[in-house]
Structures are given as C-alpha cells and as structure tokens.
Copies of this chain bind each other. A is one copy, B any other.
C-alpha cells in the first residue's frame, strides 16, 4: 500500500489541463502497488489511475511499458491504455516525479483463484504474447538468469539467518540453472509479473491485465512458468494440478507451445521460483525501519522451487505432452 507523494488539488487540476480527459471531480490515494504513488481519479469523462513513479522503474523504461500497453490495448488485449497529453506524450512530470495516467479498468483481482480463472489467465497470457509479436521496442529482462547471481551476492552471507542451509541451497540451484538455462526458445514480449493481483475479473470473466513495469523481452514460456508459480499453488503450498492443467490447456489453445518449450517448462519454473525467491530474500533482508509494507515470505519460493525440482516433465503439471 502506498502513497509516498501527496499532490494538491490545484496542482493536479493544472496538470490535467494538459490532457483531454475531462475536468477533475475527485482523487483518492489508493493502497495498491508498493513502489509508486497511485491515485484513482474521477473526471467528467470517466475514471483513471494517476501514477507517480517513485523508484526502481527508471524513467528510461517508461516508454517501453507505456507504449506496450498502448500497443496491446490497440490489439484487443484488455489492459489499461495510457492517456496522451497535448504534446502526444504518455508521461510527463508532476511533483518532481515522472507521472502517467491510464484509464481505470473495472474488475477485482481474485484472492482465491479458481481453475476457471486460471484458464482465463492462460488464455489472456497467450493472446498477450501473440499481440506483442510485432511490438517494436526491446527491453532485456534484468531479472532473468544473468541477474540472479548479483541478487544472490547481496543476500548470500545473511541467507542462513532466514533458514539454515538456504545459502548453499540457492548456490547449488543457481549453478545448475546457469549451466542449463535455455537460449533457443521462442522469445517475445512477456509480462513477467502476472500474479493474481495483476489480473482483474468480473465473476469468472477476465476483465484486464495490469501493472506492466516488469514487462520485457524474454522467452515466452518463461512467462508461462511464472504463472504456474503465481496461480497454481494453494495457500498450504500444495501444487494444484487441476489449475495448472486449466492454465496450460487454455494457453495452448491460443498459442501452441513447441516440444522444446514444453520440455523446458520444469526448468523454467525452477528459474522463475529462484527469481522470486531471490528478490524476496533481498527485500526481506533489507526492510527499512518503519517500512510501510511487510516483506513477502521468501521461503514460500523455496517450497515452490523444491516442487519443480521434483518434476520430471510437463505431465507432472497435469498436461498430456
């Protein structure tokens, strides 16, 4: 939850004069997103989200993911569309921060996803991958295999404070993944963070994909692997094969994975689990005093990683390969 920068009403009203989104009627700081300041605006022409970017997302990356949302929305993907200001730009500056406005999507994210919702995510992810195939910008994934060892180095000497043996466990996995990580699978635009809180539904019908700041170019199947971790484990950490089958089957109906992608999926899922384990571990070990946000549990991803280590093929995810 987060509003780091307050904005005065007259300052905001002035800012909006440079957009064609109507007159400001109200704005509320909203408690979603942990890295930026977000406001829900009501104007005479609708509802919008105003985001002031506070950190991590470099200004250099804003054109990538704001243009991507526009690109995807034009191709029928249900995602927010950035508003352009009178100079045609999708972001400018407010209160000293890079600031963007996107249209507000109705819908709720599922706290307890159903198998039908997992199918919805699989379908939407595949459509996003197809719609992104002609997106002209490129952004390397900073949190893929090359980025993991630097993260590990920031946490290695304190990892055993979180759980005895954790440092050795990660070191062995990292060495294995660095040696085996595939380089010949189909690549394209991936969301890279498609957790339930980034997917809206109205009932069981998917109404929108949001939050693209981690979007980048990487292996499409890696995005599928992230979703397996994000959607198919139960609160008790058990893997729900029914949900995985629903997700993977729905994905496959829109975009058929190659044999090589299917074979690589358990390895990609291990990599995805390690990626979230590492970022959570670094966050956990570096919580600032008086932090507004409780860090997420890194050990959840140790359990997920162990599960994927035990998987021998995509059949263990419920799919008849």
Contacts and interface: CB of A to CB of B under 8 A. Distances in A.
Interface in A1-21: 1-3, 6, 8-10, 12-13
A24 interface: yes
A25 interface: yes
B111 A8 contact: yes
A109 interface: yes
Interface residues of A, number: 36
B31 A3 contact: yes
Can you tell how many copies of this chain the complex includes? 2
A106 interface: yes
A247 to B, nearest CB: 19
A26 B112 contact: no
Contacts of A10: 111-112
A108 interface: yes
Given A1-B1, A28-B40, A30-B31, 10 more contacts: A2-B31, A8-B111, A9-B110, A10-B111, A26-B106, A28-B30, A28-B32, A29-B30, A29-B31, A40-B40
Interface of A: 1-3, 6, 8-10, 12-13, 24-32, 40, 42, 47, 104-112, 200-202, 290-292
